[in-house]
């Protein structure tokens, strides 16, 4: 008796099996590649040491206690719901409390980093206050890094990078939202080292050129 089979012939079954395995392997590789790409977009690429901004050097000369301290191990913050609320709250409070004013109008000089204790300041001053508030709230200094970027007009700008287990998040006086660095549209230039705030490192950018076109 010859019975019709609902299965494919043996040779065809082997071919289909091979194709199935190939497809599964390809899907796994694509998934791993996507995860790797996502990881790269979550964190800024760190390159070699570079010069610290002159504004930071002068700030440290005037505020040595805020810059002193031995080298330490890098630390990232666990981005819990409470930690996220704290970041958003500090970012919003400082952005709303401080009125923007250029250093030239404020101090009569082109560049001066200082705490905006009189209620006025420019981008670096916003960053310094946010950093101080978070440190006073118990956040590790190693996760709070002053960062220099080029903005949408290709002008220098300062933001605060917060290193977390979910990626590098940015506190910025020009944006109301706390964003992942790769969603800001900025070109990242340099920032403080996690191990030493007085050591600055150049930053790379793993994004394709089209992703940073608006920042150039």
Q: CATH no. for residue 78? A: 3.10.620.30
Q: What percent of the chain has pLDDT over 70?
A: 76
Q: Residues 135-147: what's their mean pLDDT?
A: 96
Kindly state whether residues 188 and 200 are assigned to the same domain: yes
Question: Which pLDDT value is given to residue 93?
Answer: 98
pLDDT at 213 over 50: no
The H helix count followed by the E strand count for the chain is 5, 9
Which helix (H) or strand (E) element contains residue 209? Answer: none
Kindly state whether residues 140 and 204 are assigned to the same domain: yes
d(CA 182, CA 212): 9
Structural domain span for residue 134: 44-215
The answer as to whether 164 is a domain residue is yes
The answer as to whether 92 is a domain residue is yes
Kindly state whether residues 85 and 106 are assigned to the same domain: yes
The answer as to whether 5 is a domain residue is no
Residue 204 confidence class, pLDDT cut points 50, 70, 90: confident
Q: Which residues contact 159 (CB under 8 A, 6 or more apart)?
A: 123, 127, 147, 149, 170, 171, 172, 184, 186
Residue 207 confidence class, pLDDT cut points 50, 70, 90: low
The answer as to whether 3 is a domain residue is no
The answer as to whether 156 is a domain residue is yes
Kindly state whether residues 35 and 71 are assigned to the same domain: no
Kindly state whether residues 80 and 177 are assigned to the same domain: yes
Nearest by Cα to 93 from 137, 55, 142: 137
The answer as to whether 51 is a domain residue is yes
Which has the higher per-residue pLDDT, 109 or 6?
109
Integer-rounded Cα Rg, in Å, for the chain is 24
Kindly state whether residues 71 and 158 are assigned to the same domain: yes
For the chain, how many structural domains are there in total? Answer: 2
Q: Residues 147-174: what's their mean pLDDT?
A: 96
Q: Residues 52-70: what's their mean pLDDT?
A: 93
Kindly state whether residues 66 and 114 are assigned to the same domain: yes
Kindly state whether residues 36 and 70 are assigned to the same domain: no
Q: Residues 184-202: what's their mean pLDDT?
A: 96
Kindly state whether residues 87 and 34 are assigned to the same domain: no
Per-chain mean pLDDT for the chain: 83
Question: Which pLDDT value is given to residue 68?
Answer: 83
Q: What is the pTM of this model?
A: 0.79
pLDDT at 105 over 50: yes
Kindly state whether residues 125 and 172 are assigned to the same domain: yes
Q: Using DSSP bridges, classify how beta strands 99-100 and 167-171 pair: parallel, antiparallel or unpaired.
A: unpaired
The answer as to whether 1 is a domain residue is no
Question: Which pLDDT value is given to residue 33?
Answer: 42
Question: Which pLDDT value is given to residue 102?
Answer: 96
Q: Using DSSP bridges, classify how beta strands 120-121 and 99-100 pair: parallel, antiparallel or unpaired.
A: parallel
Which has the higher per-residue pLDDT, 49 or 8?
49
The answer as to whether 196 is a domain residue is yes
Question: Which pLDDT value is given to residue 70?
Answer: 77
Kindly state whether residues 146 and 167 are assigned to the same domain: yes
Kindly state whether residues 38 and 88 are assigned to the same domain: no
Q: Among 2-16, 54-68, 89-103, name the one with the lowest average pLDDT.
A: 2-16
């Amino acid at each position: 008796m010859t019975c019709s089979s609902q299965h494919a012939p043996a040779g065809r079954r082997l071919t289909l099996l091979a194709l199935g395995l190939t497809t599964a392997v390809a899907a796994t590789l694509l998934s791993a590649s996507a995860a790797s790409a996502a990881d790269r977009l979550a964190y800024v690429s760190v390159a070699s040491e570079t010069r610290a901004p002159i504004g930071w050097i002068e700030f440290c000369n005037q505020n040595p206690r805020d810059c002193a301290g031995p080298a330490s191990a890098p630390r990232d913050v666990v981005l819990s719901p409470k930690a996220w609320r704290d970041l958003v709250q500090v970012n919003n409070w400082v952005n709303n409390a401080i009125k923007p004013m250029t250093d030239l109008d404020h101090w009569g000089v082109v560049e001066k980093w200082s705490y905006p204790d009189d209620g006025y300041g420019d981008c670096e001053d916003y960053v310094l206050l946010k950093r101080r508030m978070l440190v006073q709230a118990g956040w590790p200094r190693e996760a709070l890094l002053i960062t220099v970027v080029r903005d949408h007009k290709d002008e220098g700008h300062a933001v605060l990078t917060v290193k977390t287990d979910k990626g590098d998040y940015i506190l910025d006086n020009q944006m109301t939202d706390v964003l992942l660095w790769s969603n800001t549209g900025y070109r990242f230039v340099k920032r403080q080292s996690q191990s030493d705030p007085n050591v600055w490192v150049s930053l790379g950018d793993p994004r394709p050129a089209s992703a940073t076109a608006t920042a150039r």
